[in-house]
A = this chain, B = another copy of it.
Amino acid sequence: MTFITKPKVAHPSLPRNALGCTRRDYEGALSTLCAGCGHDSITAAIVEACWGLSLEPQNLVKLSGIGCSSKTTAYFVSGGHGFNSVHGRMPSIATGANAANRRLSYIGVSGDGDTLSIGLGQFCHAIRRNLDMLYIIENNGVYGLTKGQFSASADVGSKAKKGETNLQPPIDPVLLALDLGATFVARSFSGDKRQLVPLIEAGLRHRGFALIDVLSPCVTFNDHEGSTKSYAYTREHYEPAVLADFVPREREITADYGAGEASEVILHDGSRIVLRKLDADYDPGDRRAAAARVQERMSSGEYLTGLIYLDASGERPEFHQVSRTPEVPLNSLPYEALTPGAKALEKILARYR
């Protein structure tokens, strides 16, 4: 909601990225969410990541469904086109948009209601297609915009503001994504910008479907005691497994990592993800082990976070590889490359005589 447009006067001392842009250039309209809403922190992290990647604003396409979370696409990168579609159906819009122009970066922002209830089917099928996009779930365990009903990610035993207790097991998007063959699966927390920003950067650069499930407390309807998606609970039961530092191709790795502490994965565009495993046993390249670990932690009420799984091998073809479409975006092919022409029609008709 943009009753007010933010003034964009950049202070000369603000740091600038490779394009000469300040963070301000990646902001959007003023947020109309509740003060303290986790979603606003994620917006800030997206701004930071886009700035950090020196993304050309017009090359970012922002897609969303309906919900408090879905509104946030208006609050960052106002220089990129946004498509705030209908409830739960953003993945199909993303699929079509991506099919038309594979050269842009696609970021989808959704809520747990938008993704796991009404949108569950489309979400799963976008993963199955390995659609090249970053999909962020701003997961608060409730329907914020419609005032606090449980969503399908609400944990068993979690209490609604009105006192009702949820008895149905949650659908976990991370497990689902692992099962369905997603090639980049991460979880984070809106309050942990240090973890979140590099994940967003890496997700944007990953070729294929990148999921980041971000726990994002709803201060109005689900931040009370007894809620497993509250700030307090999340902070405490939050177990980082694999930290990721993202280094764009254009940049050197600058941080010092102790021996054996970090491993490096090179993405298709030459960028690197430096993985730091907090638990030597954990292998973010093993899909089944990752799923097992997620489940194990979950059963003791913990959220495993970080870059949980990554397949940077490129073995699983993304949507355009499956479709065998050319590098030139379909929307830029000249008509001449598309029409068979009048002569060819003659030949075609011969079959129908």
Contacts and interface: CB of A to CB of B under 8 A. Distances in A.
Interface of A: 117-121, 124-125, 128-130, 152, 167-169, 171-172, 175-176, 179-181, 288, 291-292, 295-296, 316-317, 322
Contact of A179 (B120, B125, B175): B175
A201 to B, nearest CB: 27
Contacts of A121: 117-121
A104 B308 CA distance: 44
Contact of A316 (B119, B152, B169, B172): B169
Nearest to A119: B121
Nearest to A129: B168
B167 A317 contact: yes
Given A129-B168, A179-B179, A291-B291, 10 more contacts: A120-B120, A120-B121, A121-B121, A128-B171, A130-B168, A167-B322, A169-B181, A176-B176, A288-B292, A292-B292
Contacts of A295: 288
Please tell me how many copies of the chain the complex holds: 2
10 contacts: A117-B125, A118-B121, A120-B120, A120-B125, A128-B169, A128-B171, A130-B168, A176-B179, A288-B292, A291-B291
A176 B181 CA distance: 12
Contacts of A167: 317, 322
B128 A152 contact: yes
A317 B316 CA distance: 39
A172 B124 CA distance: 12
A179 B180 CA distance: 11
A121 B172 CA distance: 14
A125 to B, nearest CB: 7
Contacts of A171: 124, 128, 180
Contacts of A181: 169
A7 B124 CA distance: 46
Nearest to A88: B121
A125 B118 CA distance: 10
Nearest to A288: B295
A124 B120 contact: yes
A128 to B, nearest CB: 6
Nearest to A299: B288
B168 A152 contact: no
B288 A168 contact: no
Contacts of A322: 167-168
Contacts of A316: 169
Nearest to A168: B128
Nearest to A128: B168
Contacts of A288: 292, 295-296
A175 B128 CA distance: 14
Contacts of A179: 172, 175-176, 179
A295 B118 CA distance: 28
A230 B292 CA distance: 32
